[in-house]
Structure 1
């Protein structure tokens, strides 16, 4: 599978945000059977806040200067996704610092692609795919940083003890306190491990 085909048809970040805004407006104007309006609205609010406030740490800035950038990011996402609203703006800011091009494709319109990026059988997003100049996958990140995946495993293993509500609350607290630091560090580690100079 050549990922450049998906990359070429993807949105840039500004187009992605505009698409989310358009979808929010469309959901408001029609019967909203999946109750997406609240999720699109919350997602936009979070993405705008995170994009505005996120900054690399000095250590991360130093790492970025030493990091190879001969790849692109293809990001599989949806505007209503809570994890995406926390992760996507951080990855976009990191990509900007690395001078790496990003493109966004919507999961629900690209299920053939998503079939290749399931997490334990689930179509969870966002998935960030590092793509070589030849269109080959170099590595993936997502749908959550490692600690978020630990929280999910805790919920899945003991739903009677650790409820869905507790999981979502703890995940949100983690995202708010961590401020994207783990996301950046994990992606930079993946670049170091998988992208040749």
Structure 2
């Protein structure tokens, strides 16, 4: 565990807050770029769409009263270290709610690192062998040790995707992406809140 604590300290030192992460995506977009080494037209378009998704949930996303109570009950300082990229659609759907939840308690701090600049950290949190993001690591701010982790999608979304693929084994990539984002639109952040209530209690 000591090695993990040192690793977290290293990555936290090079992390950024949400405002800096948000500004980075905006600045890169204005320059016709996105985060990471892959600057394909596809990822540039995803990054553009994701800015709209983030801004939408920042504006209209709502926390449930039960979620607020759980967050406000947190009594020890913790850091939520989020591994992400600007082109990641799942991140754009979840991060605004993560920020709203963290804002409910001054003992919770969020920090962001980019996946492709921090592959050693990412590879310690693979999902079924894949570098899936976003990935959130809950760290005890006093000890520097991991408490728990979450990601890359709300558990209910994962179940939906499993069913979608079972019913449509040959579903096209764009059709799949459209279906997943439609799920997020219907869910309105309720599932990620449910996950975090369980995570914190």
Matched positions, count: 191
TM value normalised by structure 2: 0.85
Contact 1:75 1:126 in 2 (8 A): yes
Q: RMSD of the TM alignment (CA)?
A: 2.2
Q: Are 2:137 and 1:129 aligned?
A: yes
Residue ranges of structure 1 left out of the alignment (5+ in a row): 193-197
The Cα of 1:69 is off from its aligned counterpart by 4.3
4+ residue stretches of structure 1 with deviation over 4 A?
155-159
Residue by residue over 1:28-84, the C-alpha shift from the partner in whole angstroms, topping out at 9 and shown as x without a partner, is: 59xx53532211111111111111211212222223232344211000000110000
Partner of 2:81: 74
Among 18, 21, 39, the residue aligned to 1:16: 21
Among 108, 112, 117, the residue aligned to 1:109: 117
State the SS of the aligned residue for 1:117. Answer: coil
Q: Are 2:158 and 1:149 aligned?
A: yes
Residue ranges of structure 2 left out of the alignment (5+ in a row): none
Among 167, 178, 191, the residue aligned to 2:187: 178
Residue by residue over 1:110-152, the C-alpha shift from the partner in whole angstroms, topping out at 9 and shown as x without a partner, is: 0011000100001010001101122211111100001221233
Relative to 1, partners in 2 of residues 1:113 and 1:167: Cα closer, same or farther, differing over 3 Å?
same
TM value normalised by structure 1: 0.87
Separation in 2 of the partners of 1:169 and 1:69?
A: 39
